Structure 1
Amino acid sequence: MDFDFREPRLFIHDLIHKTKIGKEGARELLEKEMTDKCMYDLYVHLAEKGIVNPSKQCLESLKQMKEARIAEIESERQKDVENESHIKEIDRRIAEFYCQTMDMKKGVEWTTKIMRDDVSLSLRMDVFLCRIRMGVIMGSKKVIEESAAEAMDACERGCDWDRRNRFKVYNGLLCLMRGKFDEAGVMLSDSLPSYDAGEAMDYWRAVRYVIFCGALTFERPDLLKRILQNADVVGNNEEEGMRIIRSLHECHYSNFMKELCTFCTVISDDVFVGKYVNMFCREMKLRVYEQVLESYRSMHIERMAETFGLGVEYVENDLGEFIVEERLWSRIDRVDRVIEMKERSSVDVSSMITEGDDVIRRIKRFVK
């Protein structure tokens, strides 16, 4: 049996997000997609949240379409009731249709049934990847976490290579959603050579997320290997992000801040990383400041401002904030107008262990 369960696609999640933020034309595209895919249950869910405002006639029409499609599939069951493979195929089609319409209750019920009747690890993986997408669309952390755990189990038990690679994309996406950018960057980067998860995100979006995560977390060798010299990344129309990586790796700072601003504008309304834009901008500034100071050890504020094409006061305030927060190990000599790196204080490991033991003992006393 050839499994699929590629619907619903996370494209619909993107449309929901764009509708929420008032993107022009998004609502019309969302309503068309839900109508074309007979997504009655999702339509009702979004109407309850005030994201769409369908007429009663529209909802009733979709409901009738859904019921008619189920009846049509069920009628085919009678054509060969003695054929076990035929019956399983009908059950699978019903399960897929309920998932497509975003009927969470029926979707879980029917996918559970077909997994009981067929113990294939490939089927299990397809089902749980589908449930992950449904959980993301409906905003259910419980469904996402439980389905991801089940998919991991199927993967560890020997699921086929293609599905393991698809799961790597999902894992990378979930890490991205949790803010685990280092893990997300590696997983998504590793998935690119044999990418086959268009139902989760388009290839170009996966490339963008590799650039986003890599800019935040990759060390220089990985920036080169996984992005700048990676044929799967280069030439995929993500030039705004690539400019940041090139400037960072090649120490070209004069346009870095402008390039950072441009990339942040591009991703500001992205469904998954848009919420991280302010953090990304700040962390990238910190990273590039550190890179400059580690090279020179000390530098006049005016020279540093000139290096980045920024105002002196802006750079001084920026650096001051990072220093106060102890994110940047430097000091500013306001008399000589110089910023210089400080030696990082060595960590007393034995002291940390002793303090940790004390904390554990206190916790145990409270537990008792």
Structure 2
Amino acid sequence: MTVEDISSHTKPPALGNESSGLPEEEEERKAVPDMALAQDLHLLELAQSKPDEVPDLEEVTNRVLAVIKAEKAEPLYTSVCVEKLGWPVDAALQAELKASNEAELAKIEEQLRVATESSGDMEVLDAMIAREKFFARIGNKTAAYAAADEILTKPKISTGKRIDAAMDKVRLGLFFRDTEATKENLERAKKLVEDGGDWDRRNRLKVYEAVALITTRSLKKAAELLLDCIATFTCVELTTYEQFIFYAVITNLLYLERTKLKKKLVDGPEVIAVLREKPALGRLLNSLYDCDYRAFFQALVEVTPELTRDRYMSPHLRLLVREMRVLVYSQFLESYKSVRVASMADAFGISVDFLDRELSRFIAAGRLSAKIDKVGGVVETRRPDSKNAQYLEVVRDGDALLNRLSKLARLVDF
């Protein structure tokens, strides 16, 4: 099995739809919109361009329809399923969902009116929160944003409730892949947390930020936040713990130092417990640490379908697979001044021609400090001169500083 075979392997089960096994009180805190539904919607979109990646398409479709009917989510049905996925319109279902939404909204508005006229601030706030949750549940993004804004701007409301409303908006943005709104609301939530957020909200917000950073390909910062939350994870409304560990391992493989990799992930009890359920991910992690490169490539092949099916990782699949290959090539070459191409190809379980193409591409791009002696069939490593690199960095930073001082001087003279 080689890395060329990535696209031809069996696909894993759908992500994010297993029973979470959480305590009852945490299940009750499950928030809307349902992020497991967002994962299924991603699979339906993926099936349009890569049908082989979603062999369980009928099951996923039935699951999405069941959730839409159970939640009476007419806006979601119309905007996502009909307009984006091209489903034929079921006029009877659409009318039934719309009527149910109108009746439920009327009831909520009446509760809000009564609370405003004859009850206290807490009852009014509860009705406002119920309205915001209703819009989020049925997939009315614009109305849900507006309802959350009303809570955020309401006077005499605790910081905790404001943080919850801001995090609800972040979750909505992640559900609908609304990148700009997610970034804006995340900054708002972070500011509120700094002003007086409790421990639980601070930790949950770190997970929100990490997931948002993954969507914008800021993987190094996301890796740091995910690693920091492994022992304190409580963000069950955004992702399952199993998927959270999956994100933490994948991102930290690329950036974590070897000693920390051993301490935080390879020997981490929380990680070990999850890897029993994700053996391919465990082999990927352990083979990297053990320098078993053939096993690493085989595990990468096995993990790739799960990356493809995941709504957060899928857009970055090519980057992730490429960076992992660069990582192991670099790690292997660090141990040698020169090595035969055939020996290196054998260590990775790939063909000589494939390795030659890979190394040539990465060397030309400046990703590997090496050169290939094609005649001798040898890869020679070139150790970077750290002193020269530091000197060049100082010169570069000095030039940048002088340019800024020059601009400042011109402004002052003006």
Same fold by TM-score greater than 0.5? yes
Correspondence for 2:170: 132
The equivalent position to 1:29 in structure 2, one of 63, 66, 89, is 63
5+ residue gaps, structure 2: 1-27, 48-53
Q: Distance in 2 between matches of 1:159 and 1:351?
A: 43
Q: Which moved more, 1:239-248 or 1:133-142?
A: 133-142
* Secondary structure class of the residue paired with 1:157: helix
The alpha-carbon deviation at position 207 of structure 1 amounts to: 0.7
Aligned partners of 1:11 and 1:199 also within 8 Å = no
Q: Distance in 2 between matches of 1:350 and 1:71?
A: 66
Q: Give 2:32's aligned residue.
A: 7
Matched, 1:170 2:208: yes
User: Equivalent pairs: percent with the same residue?
Assistant: 22
Deviation at 1:20, TM superposition (A): 0.9
Q: Deviations over 1:183-210 (max 9, x none)?
A: 2122122223232222211111101101
Equivalent residue runs for 1:178-193 within 5 Å: 178-193=216-231
Match of 1:356 in 2: 400
The alignment status of 1:147 with 2:171, answered yes or no, reads no
**Alpha-carbon shift at residue 314 of structure 1 (Å):** 1.7
The 1:113–1:79 alpha-carbon spacing in structure 2 relative to 1, beyond 3 Å, is closer
Query: Is 1:83 aligned to 2:109, yes or no?
Result: no
> SS state of the match for residue 296, structure 1?
coil
Give the equivalent residue in structure 2 for 1:94.
Answer: 131
**C-alpha distance 110-321 of structure 1, shift in aligned 2 (>3 A):** closer
- Residue 111 of structure 2 corresponds to residue 67 of structure 1: no
Of 323, 326, 346, the match for 1:286: 326
Choose 241-250 or 23-32, whichever is displaced more.
Answer: 23-32
CA drift at 1:344: 1.8
Q: RMSD value over aligned CA atoms?
A: 2.6
| Letter of the structure 2 residue corresponding to residue 210 of structure 1 | A
Q: Distance in 2 between matches of 1:19 and 1:181?
A: 25
Q: 1:41 aligns with which of 68, 75, 88?
A: 75
Kindly provide the amino acid, as one letter, of the partner of residue 221 in structure 2. E
Counterparts of 1:261-276 in structure 2, within 5 Å, are: 261-276=301-316
Residue 334, structure 1, aligned to residue 374, structure 2: yes
Counterpart secondary structure, 1:44? helix
Q: Please state whether the residue corresponding to 1:234 is helix, strand or coil.
A: helix
Task: Tell me the TM-score normalised to structure 1 length.
Answer: 0.91
- What amino acid is aligned across from residue 96 of structure 1 in structure 2? K
SS at the partner of 2:331? helix
Shift of 1:113: 2.5
Alpha-carbon displacement from aligned partner over 1:10-65 (angstroms, at most 9, x marks no partner): 22211111111223132222222122122222222112224433322222211111
| Alpha-carbon distance in structure 1 between the residues aligned to 2:337 and 2:251 | 27
Alpha-carbon contact 2:30-2:237 (below 8 Å) kept: no
- Inter-CA distance 350–163: structure 2 relative to 1 (3 Å threshold): closer
Task: Describe the shift of the 1:114–1:281 C-alpha distance in structure 2 as closer, same or farther (beyond 3 A).
Answer: closer
| Inter-partner Cα distance in structure 1 for 2:305 and 2:85 | 27
Distance, in Å, in 2 between the alignment partners of 1:43 and 1:56 is 11
* CA–CA distance in structure 2, aligned partners of residues 106 and 259 of structure 1: 44
Deviates further, 329-338 or 164-173: 329-338
Partner deviation per Cα, 1:339-365 (whole Å, 9 max, x = no partner) = 11113252323542465368769999x
8 Å contact from structure 2 (residues 203, 233) kept in 1: yes
Moved more, 348-357 or 46-55: 348-357
State whether residues 44 and 85 of structure 2, in contact with CA within 8 Å, keep that contact through their aligned partners in structure 1: no
Q: Distance in 2 between matches of 1:329 and 1:271?
A: 34
State the alpha-carbon separation in 1 of the partners of residues 76 and 34 from structure 2: 13
2:283 and 2:295 in contact (8 A); partners too: no
Q: Secondary structure at the match of 2:206?
A: helix
SS at match of 2:372: strand
Describe the superposition over 1:92-129 as per-residue Cα deviations: whole angstroms up to 9, x where unpaired: 21222122222233223322323314421111121111
Number of matched pairs? 366
Give the Cα separation in 1 of the matches to 2:156 and 2:139. 23
1:205-234 Cα deviation digits (max 9, x unpaired): 101101110111111122112211111111
After alignment, is 45-54 or 29-38 more displaced?
45-54
Contact 1:111 1:127 in 2 (8 A): yes
Q: CA 1:88–1:288 in structure 2 vs 1: closer, same or farther (change >3 Å)? A: closer
Q: Pick the aligned partner of 2:246 from 208, 224, 227.
A: 208
Residue among 135, 150, 159 paired with 1:113:
150
Letter in 2 for 1:215: L
Q: TM-score if structure 2 supplies the norm length?
A: 0.81
SS at structure 2 position matched to 1:109: helix
1:232 aligns to what SS in structure 2? helix
Structure 1 spans left out of the alignment, 5+ residues = none
Which among 281, 284, 287 is matched to residue 247 of structure 1?
Answer: 287
Q: Residues 299 and 339 of structure 1 are in contact (CA less than 8 Å); yes or no, is this contact kept in structure 2?
A: yes
